[in-house]
Amino acid sequence: MPAPTAPSAPTAEQIQQASRILAGLVTHLREEPPLPGVVPLLAPLLDENTGVPMLLGDVLRAAARIVSRQAAVPWTDETRDIVSTLREAAQEITDWHILHGDKQRLSNQSPQAPSTLTAQ
Question: What pTM was computed for the model?
Answer: 0.78
Q: What does the chain look like in DSSP terms, one character per residue?
A: -PPPPPPPPPPHHHHHHHHHHHHHHHHHHHT---HHHHHHHHHHHH-TTTSHHHHHHHHHHHHHHHHHHHS-SSPPHHHHHHHHHHHHHHHHHHHGGGGHHHHHHHHHH-TTS-GGGTT-
Per-residue model confidence as pLDDT tens digits over 44-63: 999 889 999 999 999 999 99
pLDDT of residue 115: 47
pLDDT of residue 117: 45
Which residue did the predictor score with more confidence, 108 or 93? 93
Per-residue model confidence as pLDDT tens digits over 10-23: 999 999 999 999 99
Which residue did the predictor score with more confidence, 111 or 37? 37
pLDDT of residue 113: 45
